[in-house]
Structure 1
């Protein structure tokens, strides 16, 4: 079909040595799973942290937001370091560091120690995760990339949902009387196994092109993100004091100066951390924009739904987590068949599945408005099934669409920019759509209208998915143009042969 995504032409010109793609993929995806797991697991541990180490609301925001900030701020540099020193080396270093910092999180005795450990854990994740997509993009044969991207999307989604389900189960089980600490300790043995397996199965090759580092640009990106993420994360719990608005305002000139610096480095023949030529490719530009819209919706939806289930419908952490299970199962199932759907129906399948997500969100919003707290849990699960089924097709396709034309030597930085955009979008979605949620719910938990708040925030989420649907037409137009160019090239070659 003319609207199918064409395989990359730049990377396919080279023949890659034999690669054990199966074991390699499982090692890579295990790390991705735990990085996502640790982002969401703290949500269900919040009450235990309040009781165990006397973490107040501000401290809890820092524990959650600190990981998100460090993870997002270090992602681009982590991708560039992978391009420079090799994806396997950075993956192994990042995985070991993730295990060590997870141990430190579990050993923390007060909110300050836990916050510092979470910042370090986020930085470790930012070294580890960019190498996952980079290895797939640079090393996997073209015919195996779509399936690998499907599994990548499944691992990211399952890690997010497992943070809710398994996190609640670990806390409830209270192994060895360690309570919330188990959600961090469980990472340690797995990180050891993953790092050891990576040394055996991940390719050790590095690209011959020398890549320079840009510490000024890296600091500028991190500072701009900090000035935005910190107030977005903590603003709603502190009633948006003046410093939050000042911080966000200062982020704008910092970002402008950083962009000007990056362009100057690029014009001078250097290697900036922001590779602007990547955005000249319609598929990459459209994939980043669509991924941002998707993660604004997904991050905020998981956050607000957890509040509805626990605070509004009075479900315990474990019971609330179990309600996410059908969503996760369908996410996994559809992510596996999503490639076949897009192969047959092109971007029409992506548009249709975006519509399925919107249908589930609208059904949930309308029911919450009409029935309020009497909305039945089976109905909520039905809506979550529709949403999960659509997510499983859309999310992996966005990864594949964004990276399909990236050169192997730029795989690390391209993956870092894409993942940073998604991480920032998720944090911004929690803050912005979460602000809508709290504005409707009210400031007093006892009198809060949780159902109405969830209804309105769900509508905003549906608008974000509409943006994703609109961007699929960019992919369709690009793929059609690429196919037309390929047909013209084939015709020219045939004429020359005659």
Structure 2
């Protein structure tokens, strides 16, 4: 479809009981909800320093703004899709959208770090109720041969939203509309979410409910507790001075995640419902794909936070200038997606992407090292463009390749688990790279701008190590994605 065509201009056979116009209206509502979720996962990487200065929170507060949201999203995604099957996708989407909008208002009105972090966690959980319903709703309003057309519209829209997120956040903070400053990044969700909610009641189709479906709530709680314990240990350990019990808690979190896998296998053996198809854990390619996703998305989110901290705290840039300084990376990512089509959806494309990301990160480190203080952030644009191109090359084939290594009946569970792993990676990146940055900064106190340069450089080295780990895990993925074409 060309960029000048509107969704209504596509020749579209109607699904039973759903007109083409209503189907595209439903897609519009879904897009609004998903874009709100995507933007709120990104905005605090730009607005975090300003929020902290205003509220007086600790350095860890910045990390929790991102990690709290994404870890709640990761835990909720394990159960969100199942709840939609049981209680109806439309119902869960609207509940999630309403709750997400309400917690956005609470975030905008928060007067202390504790309230804001709590609201962010609730946002993540409610987003996890909303987002998994999208696939089922789109499939229910479009005939099978036109579902791909709908996803052809939603994919680019989400990609452009990811590119625009940091810039929009910086603009809203700097513009200081109504004197609200950073609060506008959350307040803007309220009218948009309210209108989407009203439209959703009118255009989203009702879905059948599997009332007898049993949901593994205990498994979801085990997984959530494990993830929370790991992230809490990594974020708060430095502020607490790394007492012995933090390491015990970290080990307990890892143990809980391993216990979650064992628990799923045991439930399956008894014929009970599971959150993840246990047979996936026996597939080397899928386990490798999970590892790749966690490590690489750690670099994506952690790197965004790292550069934002360096630009704003170290170089004194405004939130808007900080967002604009990374536009080369965003543009590079779009180019990378395009290049991946020419190179092919193959493992070698991912390798090339990882190599480019590592090269770009090392180039950024070198650029920082050779400049005199203060560093000119705009000189980092070429390196960030290479990082973006590599990210696009690596991400484009990722889901197809990993999912091609699972059986058809495992695809739904595998896709949901990969999405959850992506959120785990986001939380892990914000916690690990943020902790490295602030730990080095604490050790360099009194050295002025050079302290921030050292902290950023150390964080970049850790990010390169994560990329190398992701590339190593890619060795166990299939050589090429196998596309299943419906006949």
TM-score (norm 2): 0.82
Instruction: Determine if the alignment matches structure 1 residue 370 to structure 2 residue 370.
Output: yes
- Residue 350 of structure 2 corresponds to which residue in structure 1? 350
1: distance between equivalents of 2:418 and 2:336? 23
Instruction: Determine if the alignment matches structure 1 residue 30 to structure 2 residue 32.
Output: yes
2: distance between equivalents of 1:251 and 1:200? 43
Question: In the alignment, which of 174, 177, 180 is matched to residue 179 of structure 2?
Answer: 177
2: distance between equivalents of 1:105 and 1:150? 31
Asked if 2 retains the 8 angstrom alpha-carbon contact of 1:19 and 1:203, the reply is no
- Residue 391 of structure 2 corresponds to which residue in structure 1? 391
Instruction: Determine if the alignment matches structure 1 residue 340 to structure 2 residue 348.
Output: no
Asked if 1 retains the 8 angstrom alpha-carbon contact of 2:49 and 2:313, the reply is no
Asked if 2 retains the 8 angstrom alpha-carbon contact of 1:130 and 1:415, the reply is no
Q: CA offset at residue 152 of structure 1?
A: 4.0
Residues 431-464 of structure 1: CA distance to partner in whole angstroms, max 9, x if unpaired? 2233433444443554253223323322332333
Query: In terms of mean alpha carbon deviation, does 161-170 or 311-320 score higher?
Result: 161-170
Asked if 1 retains the 8 angstrom alpha-carbon contact of 2:405 and 2:477, the reply is no
1: distance between equivalents of 2:300 and 2:403? 21
- Residue 361 of structure 2 corresponds to which residue in structure 1? 361
CA RMSD of aligned residues (A): 3.6
Q: CA offset at residue 374 of structure 1?
A: 5.4
The verdict on how the C-alpha distance between 1:134 and 1:383 changes in structure 2, with shifts beyond 3 A counting, is farther
- Residue 243 of structure 2 corresponds to which residue in structure 1? 241
- Count of aligned pairs between the two proteins: 464
Q: CA offset at residue 81 of structure 1?
A: 1.6
Asked if 1 retains the 8 angstrom alpha-carbon contact of 2:66 and 2:427, the reply is no
Q: CA offset at residue 304 of structure 1?
A: 1.1
Asked if 1 retains the 8 angstrom alpha-carbon contact of 2:405 and 2:478, the reply is no
TM-score (norm 1): 0.80
Q: CA offset at residue 319 of structure 1?
A: 1.1
2: distance between equivalents of 1:140 and 1:188? 33
- Residue 455 of structure 1 corresponds to which residue in structure 2? 457
Q: CA offset at residue 42 of structure 1?
A: 2.4
Residues 119-152 of structure 1: CA distance to partner in whole angstroms, max 9, x if unpaired? 2212111112233456679988589659948954
For residues 257-268 of structure 1, the aligned pairs below 5 Å read 257-268=259-270
Question: In the alignment, which of 161, 165, 168 is matched to residue 167 of structure 2?
Answer: 165
Residues 300-330 of structure 1: CA distance to partner in whole angstroms, max 9, x if unpaired? 1111111221222221222111112232233
For residues 160-239 of structure 1, the aligned pairs below 5 Å read 162-198=164-200, 204-206=206-208, 211-239=213-241
The verdict on how the C-alpha distance between 1:207 and 1:110 changes in structure 2, with shifts beyond 3 A counting, is closer
The verdict on how the C-alpha distance between 1:341 and 1:476 changes in structure 2, with shifts beyond 3 A counting, is farther
- Residue 430 of structure 1 corresponds to which residue in structure 2? 430
- Residue 8 of structure 1 corresponds to which residue in structure 2? none
2: distance between equivalents of 1:87 and 1:338? 36
Q: CA offset at residue 240 of structure 1?
A: 2.6
Secondary structure in structure 2 of the residue aligned to 1:272: coil
- Residue 69 of structure 2 corresponds to which residue in structure 1? 67
Unaligned runs of 5+ residues in structure 1 are 1-15, 487-498
2: distance between equivalents of 1:271 and 1:353? 38
1: distance between equivalents of 2:65 and 2:286? 32
Residues 272-293 of structure 1: CA distance to partner in whole angstroms, max 9, x if unpaired? 2232223445664443222112
Asked if 2 retains the 8 angstrom alpha-carbon contact of 1:133 and 1:412, the reply is no
2: distance between equivalents of 1:398 and 1:19? 34
Query: In terms of mean alpha carbon deviation, does 81-90 or 98-107 score higher?
Result: 81-90
Query: In terms of mean alpha carbon deviation, does 417-426 or 298-307 score higher?
Result: 417-426
2: distance between equivalents of 1:150 and 1:392? 18
1: distance between equivalents of 2:393 and 2:181? 36
Unaligned runs of 5+ residues in structure 2 are 1-14
2: distance between equivalents of 1:345 and 1:124? 33
1: distance between equivalents of 2:433 and 2:45? 16
2: distance between equivalents of 1:143 and 1:351? 33
Q: CA offset at residue 53 of structure 1?
A: 4.0
Asked if 1 retains the 8 angstrom alpha-carbon contact of 2:404 and 2:478, the reply is no
Instruction: Determine if the alignment matches structure 1 residue 155 to structure 2 residue 180.
Output: no
Residues 6-52 of structure 1: CA distance to partner in whole angstroms, max 9, x if unpaired? xxxxxxxxxx9799686665544433332232223224333443454
